Amino acid sequence: MGQALFAQASLPDFTELVEQASPAVVNISTRQKVPDRAVAGSGQLNAPDLEGLPPMFREFFERNIPQVPRNPGGGRQREAQSLGSGFIISADGYVLTNNHVIADADEIIVRLSDRSELEAKLVGTDPRSDVALLKVEGAGLPTVRLGKSEELKVGEWVLAIGSPFGFDHSVTAGIVSAKGRSLPNESYVPFIQTDVAINPGNSGGPLFNLAGEVVGINSQIFTRSGGFMGLSFAIPMSVAMDVADQLKTEGKVSRGWLGVVIQEVNKDLAESFGLDKPAGALVAQVLEDGPAAKGGLQVGD
């Protein structure tokens, strides 16, 4: 009995955090013109069939396709509506979300917690990190507090607020499962892995620590069926804010590069090089005239 009471007393209370942070979390919807050839004979676009897919990392399919009305000219006006989340990082209206939430959008609408809607301007986007920076007109807007993602610890409690399936300001919680995860085809982001329940519509929303600070942007899940399976991945705020600052000042993101292709050093390679244990990386290819080549790196280093 005593142990049960201790366990109950040690569980975190998220109520104050949610009350303070929710006003700065927004719902994001977009409109996009759809080419004529994308429309089937029924006049609708079909959502992808996710059943039976092999395990994979995937962005969320937020897109819902409404009935396609005919216009008086005889053609069709086709619009795809996308649904995602975001959060306000400055009182003058800068908003962070995922690139894949607003990709190819012709119009972006940001809905605040009081259900007011503002049209957003796309300041810039970075597909490689899946970060997008938006701007809405406003002053004195509610903002989130930004935390240091590098200080997160595995096992620490975290919380997400977003709009899964359009249910605004839904709150889910869990723990940090791992840090610095590399995902297939995602070489620019050391993802935070959590077991926080994330579903379509959460994408682009904030991941909070218990201090009420945003430490990540919920971005991807690992799934077989398309639904949540206990593995969610967030972009660390250290990465997201570096991207946002460059988008704000330069309109694009610049990155350094080495000009090499590397491979992991396994047990056999370690033994062949006389290493005590597998560590480091092996240079498998050096790109001609790249920085590494000019610096003297060679294949086999």
Note whether residue 268 is domain-resident: yes
Mean pLDDT (the chain) is 81
For residue 122, with 0-12 CB atoms within 10 Å meaning exposed, 13-18 middle and 19 or more buried, which class applies? middle
Residue 22 tokens, joined: 């929710």
Q: Is residue 88 located within the same domain as residue 226?
A: yes
Q: Is residue 41 located within the same domain as residue 182?
A: yes
- The residue with tokens 């503002």 is 118
For residue 66, pLDDT over 50 is answered with no
Note whether residue 17 is domain-resident: yes
The pTM for the full model equals 0.76
Q: Is residue 56 located within the same domain as residue 136?
A: yes
Q: Which residues are catalytic?
A: 100, 130, 203
Q: Is residue 203 located within the same domain as residue 271?
A: no
The model's pLDDT over 241-277, given as tens digits with 9 standing for 90+, comes to 999 999 999 887 776 566 666 677 777 777 777 777 7
Domain count for the chain, please give it. 2
Classify 233 in phi/psi space as left (phi over 0), alpha (psi -120 to 50) or beta.
beta
Q: Are 57 and 220 in contact (CB under 8 A)?
A: yes
Note whether residue 291 is domain-resident: yes
Note whether residue 272 is domain-resident: yes
- CA pair distance 205, 26, nearest whole angstrom: 8
Note the pLDDT of residue 52. Answer: 38
Which residues have CB under 8 Å from 185's CB, separation 6+? none
Note whether residue 300 is domain-resident: no
Q: Which of 62, 74, 141, 73 is nearest to 104 (CA)?
A: 62
For residue 232, give its domain range: 1-255
- CA pair distance 128, 76, nearest whole angstrom: 34
Note the pLDDT of residue 43. Answer: 38
